[in-house]
Amino acid sequence: MKKVFYPLAALAAIAVTAGPGSVVAESAAPTAFQATLNPVPTNHVNGSGTASLQINGAQTQVTIHTMGLLNAPHAMHVHIDGQGKCPDESFAKTHNGQKAISATDGATAYGEIMVALTTTGDTGPDSAFALDRMASGDPINYSRTITFDAHTISAIQGGKAVIVVHGTDYSGSGKYDNALGASEDAPHLPQTATAPALCGVLTAAAVSPSPSAPVDTTTSGQGITINNPSSSGSSSNSTLSVAALSVACASLGFSVATGIAVWNLLRRANRQP
């Protein structure tokens, strides 16, 4: 964890510059998201699942659990920039004489593939249906920390990100067969392997699924040492930190309001790009 040491003189200078009038209540964007994964209609899916995302700066931990799907590899993606929803039955078309929703059919609802949730290596759209690097089996318990770009994080925070788990045993044969013909999305695969099985829209989690250690604000000699809040993985500990800062301020002769203003400035100054 990165630590930044601020001598008292610098702190005092900032305090004078900021003044107690510039206390800003931060409304940090949410960093914890979750989705309930429901069967995609018409695709003959009986499974279920959950997904959770924890954004820590550029690194996002993705956790997905499924059960009841075919015991086979399942392509899993973060889709963005569609309607921010899962396809309903009206998205179904006829595939090899069968009514079903292909990956392409659902794209208007859930958007394009932005992140391929592989187990190793590349996570870009080129790996969308790299089934040899996808989670496999039943149940699936997937967890990986992946670098998301700013556009993806923005889409997630804007409610336009959807988790889709692909691969359905449409005919009940126990394997990916040709019941729906060849895939429109990866022609070397059967459509059953690429059709969406489970889908869920990511929404801000009510409670962080993985609370991290509180931001550590402690007096240290004549200065204050503040652990970089963004690298601690959570912005949900502000109250505790302010309380700690109050004690620190009191011992250093600052008003709490001044301390909060300075603390907010330091948080911004410390924030990772």
Helix axes 256-270, 8-18, angle to 10 degrees: 100
Smallest gap from Cβ 104 to Cu ion, in A, equals 10
3-state SS record for 112-155? EEEEECCCCCCCCHHHCCCHHHCCECCCEEEEEEEECCHHHHHH
Q: Which DSSP symbol is given to 156? A: H
Considering only 10-18, 54-62, 163-171, 220-228, which stretch makes contact with Cu ion by CB under 5 A? Answer: 163-171
**Under 8 Å between Cβ of 130 and 119:** no
Of residues 21 through 80, those in contact with Cu ion by CB under 5 A are 77
Smallest gap from Cβ 46 to Cu ion, in A, equals 19
Smallest gap from Cβ 138 to Cu ion, in A, equals 19
Name the residue nearer to Cu ion (CB basis): 20 or 85: 85
**Is 100 buried (19+), middle (13-18) or exposed (0-12) by CB count in 10 A?**
buried
Name the residue nearer to Cu ion (CB basis): 122 or 213: 122
Name the residue nearer to Cu ion (CB basis): 151 or 268: 151
Q: Which residues contact 15 (CB under 8 A, 6 or more apart)?
A: 254, 258, 261, 262
Considering only 47-55, 164-172, 174-182, 184-192, which stretch makes contact with Cu ion by CB under 5 A? Answer: 164-172
Of 75, 65, 79, 67, the residue nearest 202 (C-alpha): 79
Looking at the chain, how many residues does it have? Answer: 273
Name the residue nearer to Cu ion (CB basis): 164 or 180: 164
Residue nearest to Cu ion (CB): 77
Smallest gap from Cβ 258 to Cu ion, in A, equals 50
Name the residue nearer to Cu ion (CB basis): 164 or 256: 164
Q: Is 160 in the site for Cu ion (CB under 5 A)?
A: no
Name the residue nearer to Cu ion (CB basis): 103 or 153: 103
Structure tokens at 103: 């990956």
Smallest gap from Cβ 15 to Cu ion, in A, equals 51
For residue 86, report the phi and psi dihedrals to the nearest 5 degrees: -95, 150
Smallest gap from Cβ 109 to Cu ion, in A, equals 11
For residue 62, report the phi and psi dihedrals to the nearest 5 degrees: -110, 125
**DSSP sequence for 246-262:** HHHHHHHT--HHHHHHH
Name the residue nearer to Cu ion (CB basis): 134 or 224: 134
State the Cα–Cα distance between residues 138 and 183, nearest whole angstrom.
23
Q: Is 164 in the site for Cu ion (CB under 5 A)?
A: yes
Binders of Cu ion: how many residues, by CB under 5 A?
A: 2
Smallest gap from Cβ 215 to Cu ion, in A, equals 36
Contact positions vs Cu ion (CB under 5 A): 77, 164
